[in-house]
Copies of this chain bind each other. A is one copy, B any other.
Amino acid sequence: MEFSKDLLLEIHDNIKPFINKTPVLEFDFINELCNCNVYFKCENFQKTGSFKIRAASNALRCLPKESKEKGVITHSSGNFAQGLACASSLQDINAYIVMPENAPEFKKHSVLKYDINLIECKSTIEAREKTTSKLLIENDLHFIHPSNDLNVILGNSTIGTELLEEITDLDFILSPIGGGGLISGIAIASNIFSNKCKVVGVEPKLVDDAYRSLKSGVIQYNTNTNTIADGLRTNLGDINFPIIKKLIKDIICVSEDEIIDALKIFIERLDIIIEPSSAVALAGLINKKEYYKNKKVGVVISGGNVDLEALNI
């Protein structure tokens, strides 16, 4: 998990043609509310509406030629489906996306606009895995995991690379933590590009598996996944957990009400529509604002893909 500055810069250079350099936004309202300087890294304005295209672009780029020719597969009902669909179109690699048949129409639509193979299956995890495995074997495909894959993680490191290039003297970066691929990538970059910036995870109390994992030193699982932050219901993996254990010291857990309050601030005060998982990091900052007083804090907005009406907040 020790990577060189040159490697991280090379990864960034290599995926630049496939991604947006997302803006870093400041809001007086937030700075006044939190008594610190807050810099939002806006992956909601990334291609496909989330950071996942960074992950997918790097994972595809790093495949051996043979795998690129045969194609890749993943199962996802969310942002990674869109990210991989777009990235594989851009790199001209054959991709199979397995989605549960009850995925919202707008999500299916946003994947289908790329030249990929969408395969629908029943909505259970078993059906997803079985369908994926069958297709993988039949077509000799390479499976790409949305978060527990080193090249996925290194693709995500480019968020930290860009943010610390723009705001060089950050004290902290707050990132949502779900499957662990996002925060471990950012922590790798922060470890290389800053000698003081600490990366802090924020997760919903209802799915506090990362908090418990870090505390116990062993990956923990959620028994209940009933949080509004649907992107954070997943568990850590064996590739990203060692990185998290080494580089992340703190995880803040926030209540559903705190997540909803932060989401409302985004929509009503900052005029940005984001998905609930993205509001979690701001909820953590507000929860611990005394601690961050007068500091320079980066906050990662991971994505914006949401059906606002369905949310009903």
What is the bound-complex CA distance between A271 and B273, given in angstroms? 5
- Tallying the copies of this chain within the complex gives 2
Indicate if A45 sits at the interface (CB-CB under 8 A): yes
Chain A, 29-55, contact with B by CB distance < 8 Å: what is the 0/1 string?
Answer: 000000000000010110111000000
Chain A positions 37-77 with a Cβ under 8 Å from a chain B Cβ: 42, 44-45, 47-49
Chain B residues with CB under 8 Å of A44's CB are: 271
Indicate if A125 sits at the interface (CB-CB under 8 A): no
Binds B, one of A18-26, A97-105, A126-134, A229-237: A18-26
Indicate if A165 sits at the interface (CB-CB under 8 A): no
What is the bound-complex CA distance between A27 and B110, given in angstroms? 14
Indicate if A135 sits at the interface (CB-CB under 8 A): no
Output the nearest chain B residue to A48 by Cβ-Cβ distance. Answer: B28
Indicate if A304 sits at the interface (CB-CB under 8 A): yes
Chain B residues with CB under 8 Å of A183's CB are: none
Chain A, 139-169, contact with B by CB distance < 8 Å: what is the 0/1 string?
Answer: 0000000000000000000000000000000
Task: Identify A272's interface contact among B26, B47, B272, CB under 8 A.
Answer: B272
Closest approach, in angstroms, between the C-beta of A301 and any C-beta of chain B? Answer: 10
What is the bound-complex CA distance between A20 and B31, given in angstroms? 14
What is the bound-complex CA distance between A271 and B311, given in angstroms? 14
Closest approach, in angstroms, between the C-beta of A178 and any C-beta of chain B? Answer: 20
Chain B residues with CB under 8 Å of A274's CB are: 271
Indicate if A218 sits at the interface (CB-CB under 8 A): no
Closest approach, in angstroms, between the C-beta of A287 and any C-beta of chain B? Answer: 24
Indicate if A9 sits at the interface (CB-CB under 8 A): no
Task: Identify A47's interface contact among B28, B271, B308, CB under 8 A.
Answer: B28
Output the nearest chain B residue to A309 by Cβ-Cβ distance. Answer: B268
Output the nearest chain B residue to A273 by Cβ-Cβ distance. Answer: B271
Indicate if A1 sits at the interface (CB-CB under 8 A): no
Chain B residues with CB under 8 Å of A26's CB are: 20
Closest approach, in angstroms, between the C-beta of A308 and any C-beta of chain B? Answer: 8
User: B20–A23 contact, CB under 8 A?
Assistant: no
Output the nearest chain B residue to A113 by Cβ-Cβ distance. Answer: B32
Chain A positions 227-247 with a Cβ under 8 Å from a chain B Cβ: none
Chain A, 276-313, contact with B by CB distance < 8 Å: what is the 0/1 string?
Answer: 00000000000000000000000000001010100000
- Chain A residues packing against B (C-beta within 8 Å): 20, 23, 25-28, 42, 44-45, 47-49, 267-268, 271-274, 304, 306, 308
Ranked 5 nearest A-B pairs via Cβ: A23-B23, A271-B273, A271-B304, A25-B45, A28-B47
Q: List 14 A-B contacts (CB under 8 A).
A: A20-B26, A23-B23, A23-B42, A23-B45, A27-B45, A28-B48, A44-B271, A268-B308, A271-B273, A271-B274, A271-B304, A272-B272, A272-B273, A273-B273
